Structure 1
């Protein structure tokens, strides 16, 4: 059994333990166990045979700027076309545009297989899929009809253009301008950190871009545009200033783009750009969790394989033993396994909640799951990223000096994953969002939904130590939530504590989702007391 096959097996097992997935399947009765298993198995085969061979190629070759255009690594263009033609990009996009309209939960179950195989190429798929949803919702009928089907087919692609040299997370300081002139919108300014801002994979690239269209301060003056790299067959006025030299993700060109009166199409209402763009941002944040999970799965497998093959230690008068026999290595492998499975459970839980927020026939149920999904999203985004990196680092520790060399892939996993807790909103931004929006603005509705779901599972659990631990973690979070609510009158003090508050929430989520794992899964006396990526302080799983 390959690592991809094991990943499918574990995903199917956890899907079966995800209550939200059972509710989603009630709306999709055609998705029986055999169908879901077949889809995941096919995704694993595609990932292993088409995408995985490009993982090292993209890292070694990187991308080049040649005569003003970006050249991507060998094989990327063909693999991307095959990915889209096989239907993977449009799994959960609407039927009306050529998508398959499958649940987002199923897409989120497949995505970590693709991310594991070649995360750099999947950066293009992630932004293009998210743009498909954005355009289907915000674009005028003709634009949506023209673009979404082409994105699904892999003929065209899309980016998200927010950041500028002097305006990263502080989007209210965006200076790129949109001006209506000569009967159409024109965009001028510089956008930075644009993944696949230019490339040779698709024949057309559309930039989903925020620009200022009036003099209102902050985000109120921002509008959303689609800026194609060619307009009506003519090359648009967009230039690639440079490709960033990065620590990892070498196969994904990160571009600085210069827009000089580039023709553009406004999406939605003027001045409502940022709220509209969240249709795209939310899906990309879930994709970050899937990226971290894919890398964690791969790093775990490498660590286990190496530990069984590498022989060292034992009595001097006997043959050396596999290092997997050593208690400390067993402890390390247990931690790797457990935090990976908790992340897998969280990704599936979040995706199911996002599905139910739209699929449920009951208004109150839709609102409940929408509140819960909004609460869980910053946690999955941030801790998915942190667990991906931490698992790669821990796997390197298992391999020792070998892990630090390019003979093994974990050093690339570590380099590729480091950026994930930075893009799509840094750890600090996620913590502030979690505090100010999810607790203060939403008046704790998402927290209340989480408590309802978690206590339901605790009551049904048979593992008393784990149930007690989950109860304690929830009580700790509720106590801290009351304190953070009180501190809304002292925002600077609350902001200082926001990171710790977010980590306390993840501790509670991790303790809850641990109830879905086998009682002894990656948790025995060897791993007792190990601090894993779960909370604000070292966290001990009750075994």
Structure 2
């Protein structure tokens, strides 16, 4: 299925053949009773699980081939142009020798190889993972058929190592390039990417707080992909409110610690992909009767190494991401080793916040860009309307053009914002100038909840919008967009819900310290001079001042529309930067088109969001 037209023709031909051969049942088919039809079942119809299995492109156990349309390959030249256009990329390349080497042909080669791996290995796996899911056998998680082979190939090709430090066996590429690679992988199989992200997060924690022995024990394996990792924070009744946790740790005579409790929503809490598995576990270490909880961070080896002491209690049945096992883990006198200082566990977790929130943005970007490209390809080939006997592609219709521009603008501007923020993170961490680190660090903290939430919204909205463009076809499993919609829904929930991100932005970045907002306004006003971004920035500044003067009830009530306004202006900043790109370079065309559309719509949208901020909690008087 190499071209848009070929995969659409293949799908159309199969649909026609399926109907005429009787494989597809429709309302009115002879032999179907009205009662059966009203119940949504008819004689001989396979179960939902069986239908999902049949739609796997290749079931490694059965060799079944599906006709589901493929996700078109990504435009690597466009991605490369994004990397080069990202915020201060030239300055980032001066921050480390390996960064300087990640330029020109190296960037092209990395992106093209990642795209090939995603299309050839991850997309077939994505279909099998969605259809087959995971299972629990004798207390251990069994991943979908083909997952182990794909992981082995992923490791052999060095992909886990791209952003790990060179002294641990990593390649230490710039974070922006790593985010571009993640987009390519998550575009074709987001469930697969749910394992590398906690690996990288655990590596950051261990590198920051581990002693030499701990680093040597875990970091090379995490970099190579031989070791897996999880982040164990949430418990029943203690999700966003971490201080309610009940998991406890007590110190043994030999200096080690023993962990008791349960943790839930743990991605890849157990699996059969790596040789070893380490859990980063938050647990209480306060003495009974203490005034408040003392929360510390521990490393606990799992993956069968502590059979009975670390166990999988259940695997969640989920709407999407079926190939990623979401586990509830039990710790029963499990041996743990404290990482960092007692009582500092929660604060230490912030070392990985940058990477985790950027990773959610990149995952959303992968899904959003895939949905957009599928919709654009379909709209160029699907013919409807026009002169009798000579229908035109639906892309010729104005309303469809509006829908496609909306999808493309979200994807392109989210990509620009994700890469900009990745560069800002590198400068905030590595710059030799302390004053610069402070200003850029504040800017980073302002942007992180925006990137995370924009990524979540763009993924779901683009999947829904692509279904709308495809019509009834998009609602079926013959096209990938229905799976993208299911997979994307969780992005607005995990790693802090969108509501939590909004409250974080208001309380930490407006009420407590607005230095990050001021840094953003300064950069955006410089880049957006003479564009439609400028009035929107004034609305953002005014909204922040109003919130600062409001009572706490109104501030909380205005948090979500304020985050919406912040997203609009952050994307507008990216759009203003895109308009300054060389119009003669072909790769810039899509970026500039997305920018022009977004800025043309920015004024009315920002005005509405600003008005909702000013309303504060007043509309909530109707809640009972």
Mark yes or no: TM-score above 0.5: yes
Q: 2:299 aligns with which of 226, 230, 238?
A: 226
Shift of residue 492 of structure 1? 2.7
Determine if contact 1:386/1:533 at 8 Å carries over to the other structure.
no
1:494 to 548, 555, 567: 555
Of 81, 85, 90 in structure 2, the residue corresponding to residue 13 of structure 1 is 81
1:436 equivalent in structure 2 = 507
| Residue from 241, 250, 254 that aligns with 2:322 | 250
Alignment of 1:74-153 (within 5 A): 74-153=145-224
Matches within 5 A, 1:60-459: 60-183=131-254, 184-215=256-287, 216=290, 221-229=294-302, 234-235=306-307, 237-316=309-388, 318-441=389-512, 443-459=513-529
Q: Please tell me whether the aligned partners of residues 236 and 263 of structure 2 are also in contact (alpha carbons under 8 angstroms).
A: yes
3-state DSSP class of the match of 1:321?
Answer: strand
Q: SS of the residue aligned with 1:429?
A: helix
CA displacement at 1:240 relative to structure 2: 1.1
CA change 1:511–1:528 in 2 (3 A) is: closer
8 Å contact from structure 1 (residues 14, 516) kept in 2: no
> CA distance change for structure 1 residues 257 and 526 in 2, over 3 Å: closer, same or farther?
closer
Aligned 8 A contact 1:530 1:538 in 2: no
> Quick check: 1:506–1:535 contact (8 Å CA) kept in 2?
no
1:311 Cα deviation after fit: 1.4
Change (3 A) 1:194 1:531: farther
Provide closer, same or farther for how the CA distance between residues 529 and 364 of structure 1 changes in structure 2, counting only shifts above 3 A.
Answer: closer
1:72 CA drift (Å): 0.6
Instruction: For residue 179 of structure 1, give the secondary structure of its aligned residue in structure 2.
Output: strand
Deviation at 1:52, TM superposition (A): 1.7
1:485 equivalent in alignment to 2:560: no
The offset of 1:435, in angstroms, is 1.3
State the Cα distance separating 1:358 from its structure 2 match: 1.8
In 2: Cα distance, 1:534 partner to 1:241 partner: 47
Q: Distance in 2 between matches of 1:47 and 1:249?
A: 16
Q: Provide structure 2 residue ranges, at least 5 long, that are not aligned to the other structure.
A: 4-70, 580-590, 612-624
Structure 1 residues 431-470: Cα deviation after superposition (integer angstroms, max 9, x where no partner): 11111112233x21111111121112123xxxx4xx1x20
Contact 2:251–2:258 (Cα < 8 Å) also in 1: yes
Aligned-residue offset at 1:16: 2.5
Moved more, 335-344 or 305-314: 305-314
Whether contact under 8 Å (1:228, 1:236) holds in the other structure is no
The number of residues matched between the two structures is 526
The alignment's TM-score, normalised by the length of structure 1, stands at 0.92
> In the aligned structure 1, how far is the partner of 2:564 from the partner of 2:598?
24
Report the secondary structure of 1:239's partner residue. Answer: strand
CA contact (8 A) 1:227 1:262 kept: yes
Q: Look up the match of 1:22.
A: 90
Cα–Cα, structure 1 residues 270 and 203, in superposed 2: closer, same or farther, change >3 Å? same
Residues 214-235 of structure 1 show CA distances to partners (whole Å, capped at 9, x for unaligned) of 04555x510001111169x553
C-alpha distance in structure 2 between counterparts of 1:64 and 1:166, whole Å? 26
The alignment partner of 1:512 has SS state of: helix
491-500 vs 163-172, greater mean Cα deviation: 491-500
Q: Give the RMSD, CA atoms, in angstroms.
A: 2.3
1:268 and 1:532 mapped to 2: Cα distance?
A: 49
The CA distance in 1 between the partners of 2:205 and 2:575, in whole Å, is: 34
The alpha-carbon deviation at position 534 of structure 1 amounts to: 8.0
Measured at CA, do residues 236 and 91 of structure 1 come closer, stay the same or move farther in structure 2, by a change above 3 Å?
farther
- Alignment correspondent of 1:512: 573
**TM-score, L = length of structure 2:** 0.80
- Match of 2:391, SS state, is coil
2:539 aligns with one of 476, 491, 494: 476
Matched residue SS, 2:223: helix
SS in 2 for 1:521: helix
Shift in Å at residue 524 of structure 1? 7.6
CA distance in 2, matches of 1:26, 1:306: 43
- Helix, strand or coil: the match of 1:248? coil
2:230–2:278 contact (8 Å) kept in structure 1: yes
For residues 347 and 375 of structure 1, what CA distance do their matches in structure 2 show?
Answer: 13
